[in-house]
Chain A
Amino acid sequence: MSGRGRWGLLVWLTTVLACITIISRTQISTDLSAFLPRSPSPAQQVLVDQLRDGVVSRLILIAVEGEAPEKLAPLSHALAGRLRQENSFVSISNGDETGFEKSRDFLWRNRYLLSSEVTPAHFSAPELRRALENDLQLLGSPAGILVKRLLPNDPTGELLRLLDQMMGEQPPLTRDGVWFSPDEKRILLVAQTRGAGFDFDAQQLALSLIRNHFEAAKQEAGATGARLLETGPGVFSVEIRQTIKGDALRLSLIAAILVASLLLLVYRSALLVVLGLLPVATGALAGVAAVRLGFGAVNGVTLGFGVTLIGEAVDYAVYLFTQTAPGSTPEATLSRIWPTLRLGVLSSICGFGAMLFSGFSGLAELGMLSIVGLIAAVSVTRIVLPVLLPANFHAVDAMPFRRATLYLVQNAPRLRYPLAALVLLAIIFLIRQPGGPWDDDIASLSPVPQSARLLDEQLRRDVGAPDVRFVAIATAPTQEQALAKSETVAAQLQNSVTRGTIAGFDFPALYIPSRAAQQARQAALPASDVLDANLQQAVAGLPFAKGLFDPFLRDVAAAKVQPLLDRTSVGDSEIGLKLDSLLIRRGGFWVAMLPLRGVTDAAGLSNEIAGSKEDGVALLDLKEDFNRLYKSYRQEALVLALLGALAIVVLLSVFLRSLRRVYLVLTPLIAAVTMTTAVLAASGQKLSIFHMTGLLLVVAVGSNYSLFFESQSRPGEHRERTISSLALANLCTVIGFGILSFSRVPVLHGIGTTVAIGTVLSLIFSAVLIEHAAPESQLRSVAQR
């Protein structure tokens, strides 16, 4: 072993150990926001934050089905009772009355500070008279039975008004005191976890608690046929983590086994197979470690992508093994193919380098993983493999495989005109695609499977908590200012409610008004003697018992001097939780959120809000904004991909120093990318950002093929070995990525499909187009062999 080889081995071993150390301390994040924007507008950032750790992200919807309603209702009580003992949950709502008392008391005790109706005119004699006349009607109506208890304290009906304002959409159906789905087939519970939605361990713990208590409650209630369903952001992330883990592991394993089997079949040497996988393994380790160092954590999706390296990095070893002729040495082969191999790796790096600049931190991670992985893999091939290979090594010649490949390759050029026609057709097809081939729905990025999304929608509908689409937000430096701003916006929105352009809305100052508003209301409450006089005047001639409204006088007097309300006044009651979801702190700012219901005229509303002079107020259309964001990302990815392509062209021009050669190398790639896009579109797939990444990979991998084809256009032993090594390498790639296309995770599936199709096409097209360009005589000499 040469000194250089020893050093190489040492460096390699050290690197591997270091990588393993780094990776062992790496947190695998399944944070989907890695695949959300890194630098969005402040308004959008609010949304992203909400998705990450907002109250919404902490909700788990639980449903139980599979038993008769008579058995499900006790199960609901039992399950809720058990879960309420657990510290992991802030609240468990199942439709029973637990915990609602606190909220009602809060509203009742503070009604004069909370009600927006409290103005000086509100307690004038004529207004009081009107209120009392209404009260009489209420007393005479069926509602009287309840109202009469409130009347002596609240003749102006503040509590009713507050409740009316706070009542949102239809509440879920209740039966036997607990929530049911409208068809009464499922009981519904809503759990709010203490841990944030992105805190996977907390979410996982919460989920396992739910599952365990469900099993116990099931036995208790004797509902053995009951089935548990859960949904919510936390459930999704836990499931995605498992899916990704499962897919990445399983698919990597399958791909590795298949590739290893193929190599074993071709080389008939276990040692060669092990050595062939060394660059891949090293590349994957180095890539993941680099991402960990560069980004602080590794996203699960990125990790899953590591599996794709198997498909690509194994090529390097294949080139080395297959192209080493008997009698030659690996060193000699490497010296010969190194210029081409290096150029191939460099062009791949150009392609992936573009991804490094993506605003999707997820994609940037993928770029980093690929670049570092490829460099590591090629270095191992160059430095470590020659040392480890046996001295008299040469790959067994798989003659039948080689002959078949050569036969196909030599006949390939005949296809050049059909190919040209086909590519032309593909272009026309793509241009004529209605709406273009792109998928503009951000849902296509989500790793959440369709079935889980449908269940989520169903349960949300059942529980009457549909996804909010429109949210007005008001941002201000202090909590007080944010509250005040939300009051201004609320007043404006109230007009829209009156006009019927929105059905209703929620806002934080409804629960805790700004101090200014509370003070104004206190000031508006008349002094006791004034109120008494107004009341005497108002009550004259009405049949109310004498002294009936003394409690009212007392309550108003107390409200006039009561301490102002703040966040601490509501504690962890239902209202407190509500407030936390509507008023959030972000950096040095406070953001008030006003979710809107039943928006019929989004454009008008948007203009109206934009038209107001208020600073820091915006209307968010969650769906549109996210989709727009996504589009801008795709746009960005497209630009980056083009830049990457440009970099590849420049690189090739510099190294090949011939426009004709650059042209020869690039044509098959362009044709392959076009055809792949057309095939994907024709199969009914809309292209997402992940498919585009896949196309970039096609260029990166395919450039190796066309480079080798182009560089080995002289016939002979080397050329034959090169071509058969390309075919073998391509088979490995197709296996790796083809397996990936079976993943349930959209990103892995998208990239897998695209690359599997694209690389095969790259190889075929290289054969067709580059062979044709080789002089006829050379072809003939190949054919004669």
Chain B
Amino acid sequence: MRLHRIVFLLLFGVACGALSGTPAEAVDAPQNAQTGFGLEQLMAAFGQIKSAEARFMERKYLSLLNAPLESSGTLVYVAPDRLEKRTLLPKAESYVIDRGELTIEGVPGQRRRTMRIQNYPELAAFVESIRATLAGDVQTLRRFYDVRLEGSADDWKLILRPTAQRMQRAIKNITLGGSNAKLQTVEIEEADGDRSVMTVVADSP
């Protein structure tokens, strides 16, 4: 039965990326007294979103490769618990998180597969945090990450550092950037120096 465990870990990798869009847990971000802008406000703004669609462009810088890898596609969020990342180029693949399940399609060497997110604590951290972020649930965010908020309401940076050691071994930090309740960039810094930068452009104004 423990063999499952191995697969968990492997797929965890899959999942980490899938959720790279969002996580956050927090040490209190000091509220910016002048503007009235802080974690609470940002979360409250996110909490208003019922659904959103966006295009993304992602660039990965890996030590294995002598050129960055590019991919692009769409992101869909439906409050409170559905998230889709559909890559269209260079090859079609999709990661769909719906309630407690992650469904992966189009990954080479993997058949279409649905997995229970809860079975992978790290994955659960990602999923719950992204949902918590988009639903404006600060409590849940703080269970998984150190959260630091920088900048102002129209140009903020949310820096998330995993608190669990196991996750720290893979990921140094995740930085979300945006303007008001709009997510514009997701930057993942991995522990080994590789990094990826995703730019998000919302479809709706």
Contact = CB atoms under 8 A, between A and B. Distances in A.
The reply to whether chain A is a binding partner of chain B is yes
Given A145-B16, A145-B170, A174 B121 contact: yes
Contact of A175 (B18, B19, B118): B118
A137 B108 contact: yes
A90 B6 CA distance: 20
B65 A544 contact: yes
Contacts of A148: 62, 64, 194
Interface string A19-32: 00000000000000
B121 A176 contact: yes
A171 B11 CA distance: 13
B150 to A, nearest CB: 25
A144 B3 contact: no
Contacts of A134: 108-109
Contact of B116 (A135, A170, A176): A170
Interface stretch (B25-33, B41-49, B83-91, B127-135): B83-91
B52 interface: no
A147 B13 CA distance: 8
Nearest to B188: A145
Given A137-B91, A166-B3, A174-B121, A142 B108 contact: no
A381 to B, nearest CB: 61
Contacts of B95: 142
Secondary structure type dominating chain B contacts: mixed
Contacts of B63: 545
A238 B85 CA distance: 53
A142 B85 contact: yes
Contacts of B62: 139, 144, 148
A544 B66 contact: yes
Interface size bracket, A side: 35 or more
Interface string A132-151: 00111111111111111001
A151 to B, nearest CB: 6
Interface stretch (A96-104, A469-477, A529-537): A96-104
B104 to A, nearest CB: 8
Contacts of B79: none
Interface string A152-182: 1000010011011011101111111100000
A476 to B, nearest CB: 26
A545 B64 contact: yes
Nearest to B67: A543
Interface string A690-713: 000000000000000000000000
Given A142-B18, A145-B190, A171-B119, A137 B65 contact: no
Contacts of A161: 109
A138 B108 contact: yes
B17 A137 contact: no
Contact of B6 (A103, A135, A137, A172): A103
Nearest to A157: B109
B92 to A, nearest CB: 10
Closest 6 pairs (CB-CB, A-B):
A142-B17, A146-B13, A134-B108, A171-B4, A143-B14, A543-B67
Given A142-B85, A171-B8, 7 more contacts: A100-B5, A136-B69, A139-B69, A142-B18, A144-B60, A146-B12, A175-B118
Interface of B: 1-20, 58, 60, 62-67, 69-71, 85, 87, 90-91, 93, 95, 107-111, 116, 118-121, 170-171, 190, 194
12 contacts: A103-B3, A135-B108, A137-B107, A139-B65, A140-B87, A146-B16, A152-B64, A157-B109, A163-B10, A164-B7, A174-B119, A463-B1
